Structure 1
Amino acid sequence: MAVVDYESKYDQADKIKYLNYLAGIASRYRKEKEDCPKLRMIVIYTGDIRREQVSSEYDIGAVKMNIEPAFLSELDGGSILQHLADKVTRNELLTDEELMEMIILPLSYRKKQEKEKRIYETVNLAVRMQDRSQQVFALAGILAFTDKIIDRETANRIRRAIEMTQVAMIFEEEKQQALTQAARIFEEEKRHAVEAEKKKAADSVKAERKKNADFKQQTVMKMIEKGY
């Protein structure tokens, strides 16, 4: 089992926080009388932190913990953004990994101006996504992960985009339901029309047969009357 946290600064004291996370999970398993699985503590460091600044070990004698650090500063942000933009332009679905890359991409930069620029770019990219569910996921993720650095105007823009997308999803669902119902009604009407035509044809044949039978009967009667 992995516990994941993310930090925009490095502080050795955070290790105590991680220990509390892990101890809480172990305690919960003990209360439920179940064996606690092997625990991993993964810490994602934003672009503000470099690998050489971080110690992955916390050792206070009786307690020793190792974290698994991941450094967004080591991502190739430009290449990732271009790859995502190409897929969105081709209206292709993103993989789960690509969605996460879009969400955390702004955090891979160190300077505030760079972060804000990438937030703007990833939001614009997410808005262009054709799949509504992926669009909402990406926008909500960007809003959640960049909450400490995003400006109010951009945050409000993301919220409006999410609301509009959710409304569009409702409209799309209702449209599909309406189309399905219309198709069902059309098929039902067509079936009724076919059945009516069949009945009309059958009645016509029946009437024609009766007419022929009556004609034959009348002809025979006339022949009898004339002594044939």
Structure 2
Amino acid sequence: MEDGTYAVVEYAFGCHKTDMAQYPNYIAKVMEKYDKGDGYFDLHLIIIYTGDVEKADPVFDCGCLTLRPKQVFLSRIDGEAEFDAIRQKIHSGIVLTDDDLMKLVILPLTVPGTEGKQRMLERIVDLAEQIPDEGQRIFTLSGVIVASDKFINRDYMDQIRRRINMTQLGQLYEKEKIEYANQKVRENDLKRAKSLLNEGIDIVKIMKTYGFTEKELLHLQDENVTV
């Protein structure tokens, strides 16, 4: 983190002691990798509870080890209100902020139960495809796959991935079409410019009309130039 501290961030669907037992292993791995051995290592455990958990013990004490994680409860987020607010932004043509995109990514996790999460996920995916900006659309679709990995239906995950691939393929196709169109426009402009040169039109006027440099137009005057 910016202040020099470290954090282990985990999403949790439950708050039983057996769920907490996995975190010391994560903490040990982080310390092994990043501890500089100078006697100072500030590490925070942040547990983000999904909509399945409304409260949890703030301290995990197993005798030889005590954990005091920072807790975030997604059940306290009004998922429907957030969804409607972002949907209105999209339909009104308002550009989404980074916060809006992150909310879309985590909204499925605010709903309790696997089926409820899946339904919200499908609504998010449908809404994401209405985002005009390609980058934001791909970010949202990719983000929900990562955030929802533990509960998402595998077949539906494959569908989302195919949508992402098709979006990226569509971008490439559009880019190629634009490049091809620009090339054809330039070729036609070159033909017109050469014709005007042959008619004795002032080279400066041609430069202003078509945006060619003097060097390019002088090359056109060479009969061996292929247009």
Normalised to the residue count of structure 2, the TM-score between the two structures is 0.72
Correspondent of 1:18 among 23, 28, 38: 23
Task: Look up the match of 1:223.
Answer: none
Partner residue, 2:50: 46
**CA-to-aligned-CA distance 1:29-62 (integer Å, 9 cap, x gap):** 24x67886532221111111112xx123234566
Separation in structure 1 between the aligned mates of residue 27 and residue 194 of structure 2, nearest angstrom? 67
Give the aligned residue type for 1:24: K
Q: CA RMSD in A?
A: 2.9
* 1:89 and 2:91 correspond: yes
Aligned-pair CA distance for 1:84: 1.2
> Partner amino acid for 1:49?
V
> 1, 7, 22: which one pairs with 2:12?
7
**TM-score, length basis structure 1:** 0.72
Letter in 1 for 2:200: K
Partners of 1:77 and 1:105 within 8 A in 2: yes
Cα distance between partner residues in 2 of 1:21 and 1:200:
79
Consecutive unaligned residues in structure 1, runs of 5 or more: 203-228
Which whole-Å deviations, capped at 9, do the CAs of 1:147-168 have from their partners, x for residues lacking one?
3333344323312211211111
Larger mean CA deviation between 124-133 and 147-156 belongs to: 147-156
1:39-78 alignment, distance < 5 Å: 39-51=43-55, 54-60=56-62, 63-78=65-80
Q: Which has the higher helix share?
A: 1
Task: Give, in whole Å, the separation in 2 of the partners of 1:136 and 1:161.
Answer: 9
- After superposition, the C-alpha distances for 1:186-218 in whole angstroms (9 at most, x for unaligned) are 666666566x26x8257xxxxxxxxxxxxxxxx
Supply the AA of the counterpart residue of 1:81. F
> Taking every aligned residue pair, what percent have the same amino acid on both sides?
30
* Aligned residue type for 1:10: C
The answer to whether the 8 Å contact 1:103/1:145 transfers is yes
CA shift in 2, pair 1:180/1:17, >3 Å: farther
For 1:12-161, list aligned pairs within 5 A: 12-30=17-35, 38-51=42-55, 54-60=56-62, 63-161=65-163
Q: In structure 2, how many angstroms separate the alpha carbons of the residues matched to 1:15 and 1:33?
A: 26
- Say if 1:40 and 1:68, in contact at 8 Å, map to a contact too: yes
CA distance in 2, matches of 1:191, 1:56: 77
Secondary structure of 2:48 counterpart: strand
Q: State which structure, 1 or 2, has the greater radius of gyration over its C-alpha atoms.
A: 1
Equivalences, count: 197
Q: Which runs of 5+ in 2 are unaligned?
A: 1-5, 203-227
Taking a change above 3 Å as real, the CA distance of residues 181 and 36 of structure 1, as seen in their structure-2 partners, is farther
Q: 1:71 to 1:201 in 2, by over 3 A?
A: closer
